């Protein structure tokens, strides 16, 4: 099932209103985002880096941790009035204009 960013924002908002009672405040959600990014980092470092998994960490799934980061980021966007579709499109345009030749001409990437 494909889902647009806008549909994702609506789905999260509906879930919060149905099951979550209300959004946590913005600072709480920022803290949760940092926790989730840390959990994603732990899996990445152990899977692709030089550290080994401890105890039950091997059961952690990369896709689950990425989805947790995405979920809380969508929560923050919803509660601060950010249209992630528009913001993402703007970022692609900015990066294209700024970097369209930069990486192609970077000898370190060849």
pLDDT one-digit tens code per residue, 65-91: 999 999 999 999 999 999 999 999 999
Query: Count of domains in the chain?
Result: 1
pLDDT beyond 90 at 1: no
51: Cα separation from own chain's centroid: 23
Domain that holds residue 71: 5-83
13 CB-near residues (< 8 Å, 6+ apart)? 78
Predicted pLDDT at 34: 98
CATH (domain of 61): 1.10.287.1080
Q: Is residue 61 part of a domain?
A: yes
Read off the pLDDT of each residue in 34-39 and give the average, rounded to a whole number: 97
Q: Is residue 79 part of a domain?
A: yes
Q: To 10 degrees, what angle do helices 62-80 and 84-99 make?
A: 110
Of all residues in the chain, the percent with pLDDT exceeding 70 is: 100
Residue 5 near residue 84, CB atoms below 8 Å: yes
pLDDT beyond 80 at 57: no
Predicted pLDDT at 54: 84
């Amino acid at each position: 099932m494909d889902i647009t960013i806008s549909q994702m924002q609506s789905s999260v908002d509906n879930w919060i209103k149905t099951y979550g009672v209300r959004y946590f405040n913005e600072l709480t959600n920022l803290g949760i985002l940092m926790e989730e990014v840390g959990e994603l980092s732990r899996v990445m470092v152990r899977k692709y880096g030089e550290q080994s998994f401890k105890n039950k960490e091997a059961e952690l799934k990369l896709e689950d941790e990425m989805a947790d980061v995405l979920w809380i980021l969508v929560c923050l966007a919803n509660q601060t009035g950010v249209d992630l579709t528009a913001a993402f499109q703007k970022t692609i345009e900015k990066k294209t204009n700024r970097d369209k030749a930069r990486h192609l001409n970077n000898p370190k990437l060849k």
